[in-house]
Chain A
Amino acid sequence: MMEITLQHYLVLSTLLFTIGLIGVMRRKNLLMLFFATEILLNAVNIAFAAISSYYGDLTGQMFAFFIIAIAASEVAVGLGLLVLWYKRTGKIDLDAMTSMRG
């Protein structure tokens, strides 16, 4: 069978990124929106690891580590805000968050 090149990994990464973007576009529930952003971050991580491996350079892996750290803190703060919002209003839909509309 044919060899797996860098392009294969980049195509896969693009595909997963597009799936994540579709999720961001169609979700109204904020929790599901968070899931879609996790997919986006993971797709980018694959591209970083692949480029790092094919160029024999560790910088890509380092960036992937920092992305994982940022994703973890994003989830902690985001879920905290989400729980707070749910306790106050009982809804986590995006449409309900229009309190600043003039």
Chain B
Amino acid sequence: MEAIAFYTFAILTTVMFTITVLTNHALYALSALAAGMIFISAFFFLLGADFLGAIQIIVYTGAVMALYAFGMMFFDTTRVVVESRTSPQIVFGLSGLAALTVVAIFTAPIVSGNIEALYPAIEGVGNSQMVGMVLFTKYLIPFEVAAVMLLVAMIAGIILAGKKMDHSLTLMKEEEIERQNNEKAQV
């Protein structure tokens, strides 16, 4: 049963991310990426990390994808995206890097065969409760730092994207908007 679920979701995620990477339409890429994120949360549920799965759906497909969707309203997304032809040196270097990553990922568990659980899972306690117990004792300071970092990112996002937004298009009259567009066209 677990094997069927694993292979199904593995194929689905791979296909979705391949579409994201290879398509020439930004809208297809966005939709495929959102679907892939939801399928990835299935792995977290399979692995018993329920809280992480819920966070994955809420944060990635809820917040990050919505942010991308709003961001895409600024850009011309109907245009077909032209792709670059990178130099062979860069492709070679990055492929080598990818191969090295593969080797490192596969050898890491073998090298550290005597791995011991730092914060072992407690029997009879749900995943969310366990996460809370570890997060608010051992990882409290990183948690608070992450909170401050999110606040800084929010302020940065508002300041960067909010520039020249001092006149509201919804409150202006039609003539005012037309006049402004004409001024822009003349410049």
Contact = CB atoms under 8 A, between A and B. Distances in A.
Interface of A: 1-4, 6-10, 12-29, 31-32, 34-36, 38-39, 42, 45-47, 49-53, 55-59, 61-62, 64-66, 68-77, 79-84, 86-87, 92-95
Nearest to B37: A42
A73 B17 CA distance: 22
Which residue among B2, B20, B131 has the maximum number of chain A CB atoms within 10 Å of its CB? B20
B49 to A, nearest CB: 5
B35 interface: no
Contact of B68 (A47, A56, A75): A75
Nearest to A84: B160
A100 B115 CA distance: 48
A24 B18 CA distance: 12
A34 B68 contact: yes
Given A57-B120, A80-B160, A18 B153 contact: no
Contacts of B14: 12, 15-16, 19
A6 B109 contact: yes
Nearest to A92: B75
A59 B121 CA distance: 10
B118 to A, nearest CB: 5
A17 B98 contact: yes
B78 interface: no
A39 B20 contact: yes
A74 to B, nearest CB: 8
B37 to A, nearest CB: 7
